[in-house]
Amino acid sequence: MPFQAFFSWKPWGIALCYAMLFLISDAYSLPYSQEVLSDNPITYWRLGESSGTTVVDQKGLNNATYQGSPTLGISGSNPYDTDTAASFGSTNTQYVIKNPFNSFPGTAITAEFWIKSSNTSTAGTPLSYAVTGMDNEFLLYDYNNLSFYIGGPAISSGVAINDGQWNHIVVTWRSSDGALVMYKNGTAVFSINHQAGYTIKSGGSLILAQEQDGVGGSLDAGQRVIGALDEVAIYNYTLSSDRVLSHYNATMNVPEPSSILLSIIAILGSFWAVQKNR
């Protein structure tokens, strides 16, 4: 009888069931979007819209706007997620804009995104933040050699991110000591101290895929991204190296199944163990 079987488990059979459940769970990870949201970004644009002009902020705070009709609904960066990405650059006026961005971080920031491009003809700009009087207030510039502008002065990393593959890019900076770190695909590839003591001004304009030479405009076609962007997140603190790696690894592993599915697997395993003990 099935119910009798449940109450006649032997210790080794029960242990085997728990071992099976542990091994199954260990083979999975949280979905990428859950990893990001668990670290509480102030803005998270997945760029997964299939139509329209609204870029939805997963935090519900900073919806942005698609300009120039970029191509939506293309295959995204994560093979285990059906959420899509957006492609830019087929015209000179395709970008995402949030203006004004009133909660932009001041003394510590992390910018995270996925990018895919094989273009070398433009100085593709993934992210440009400008304020009145300073168009390069916070700028990630040129995917041939990613450079970082904070309050005007620039530092070049010497790292290219336009190899034709999806690349996970994270840039962290804090004012207290100027520590700036760039991560590519989960690994720190560049670090330096830059603009210690500076405070990034809030209330400016944030643009993706174009470089703005004035607040909200004055775009240079030679500095546009020709390629795709996905999963853009902004944080008001610096992500740790462990968390950056966890985000990247979330796209390398099969997403974690639901608790219901794990329970079904455990029950089926339990029946098998009981039968072996009979």
pLDDT in tens, 39-71: 999 999 999 999 999 999 999 999 999 999 999
CA-nearest of 153, 158, 189, 154 to 171 is 189
Domain ranges (residues) in the chain: 32-249
The pairing of strands 95-101 and 64-67 is: antiparallel
- Lowest-pLDDT range, 36-45, 117-126, 140-149, 251-260? 251-260
pLDDT band for 2, please (50, 70, 90 cuts).
very low
**Residue 40, class by beta-carbon neighbours within 10 Å (0-12 exposed, 13-18 middle, 19+ buried)?**
exposed
Query: Residue 161 has what DSSP assignment?
Result: -
CA-nearest of 75, 88, 62, 76 to 32 is 76
Over range 115-128, report the average pLDDT: 97
pLDDT in tens, 204-233: 999 999 999 989 888 999 999 999 999 999
Q: For all residues of the chain together, what is the average pLDDT?
A: 87
- On the question of a cis peptide bond just before residue 153, with omega within 30 degrees of 0, the verdict is no
Q: What is the DSSP string of 189-257?
A: EEEEE-STT--PPSSEEEEESS-EEETTEEE-GGG---EEEEEEEEESSPPPHHHHHHHHHTTTSPBPP
Nearby residues of 218 by Cβ (< 8 Å), 6 or more positions away: 135, 212
pLDDT band for 26, please (50, 70, 90 cuts).
very low
Cβ-contact 211, 95 below 8 angstroms:
no
Q: pTM here?
A: 0.83
pLDDT band for 80, please (50, 70, 90 cuts).
confident
Query: Residue 158 has what DSSP assignment?
Result: -
Find how far residue 190's CA is from the centre of its chain: 18
* pLDDT at 269 (0 to 100): 55
pLDDT in tens, 169-198: 999 999 999 999 999 999 999 999 999 999
- Lowest-pLDDT range, 59-68, 138-147, 246-255? 246-255
Q: Which fold has domain 32-249?
A: Jelly Rolls (2.60.120)
